[in-house]
Amino acid sequence: MAGETIITVAGNLTADPELRFTPAGHAVASFTVASTPRTYDKSTKEWRDGDTLFLRCSAWRSLAENIAESLTRGTAVIAVGRLKQRSYETQQGEKRTVVELDVDNLGPSLARATAAVTKTTGDRQQGQQNARPQSGGWGQQQAPQDDPWGQQPSSEPPF
């Protein structure tokens, strides 16, 4: 939507993502990304850590399920999403305001790690999250027959 604040945050997950389902059956994953800026001090020739930002995040539907299945505490991630501010009142009557990230995309940072990517099936991508895997998890499913990215590369040269 126009006027929303889109940000990218790189950091580490502080805990395993928590997956829940709304009464309507929509998956939502909640997690926190800790991002600590580092600067190089030329005079001491050392890296210095700044103050850590702990940003509460949420992701919805198939993205939420993929996050909960794929990522764990300590994983270096890159999150892209919309910064949201909301206010609420505590049980003691104190007014609070929080800033959270409504995540549109999240993936592991490959700066210091590797990742094996498994494409999900079309059903899951279209948000049919009520269908649960029969065995072996989501990553064990086959790509659709008409999916060119799900086929093995040919040993024949392309020309």
Dihedrals φ, ψ of 6, to 5°? -95, 130
Q: Are the C-beta atoms of residues 62 and 127 closer than 8 Å to each other?
A: yes
pTM over 0.75: no
**Residue 144 CA from chain centroid, whole number:** 24
Residues 13, 29 contacting (CB under 8 angstroms): no
φ/ψ (deg, to 5) at 63: -60, -40
So what's the pLDDT on residue 112? 85
State the DSSP code for 42. T
Contact 79, 58 (CB under 8 A): no
The pLDDT tens digits along the chain (159 residues) read: 677 889 999 999 999 999 999 999 999 999 999 999 999 999 999 999 999 999 999 999 999 999 999 999 999 999 999 999 999 999 999 999 999 999 999 999 999 888 888 888 765 544 444 433 333 444 444 445 555 445 455 555 554
Instruction: Report the pLDDT value the prediction gives residue 143, as an integer from 0 to 100.
Output: 45
Which one, of 122, 84, 126, 79, lies nearest residue 103 by Cα?
79
Q: What does the H/E/C string look like for 71-126?
A: CCCCCEEEEEEEEEEEEEECCCCCEEEEEEEEEEEEEECCCCCCCCCCCCCHHHHC
- Considering Cα of 129, then 131, then 132, then 138, what sign does the dihedral take? negative
Q: Would you state the pLDDT for residue 118?
A: 87
Q: Which residues pair with 113 in a beta bridge?
A: none
* pLDDT score for 58: 96
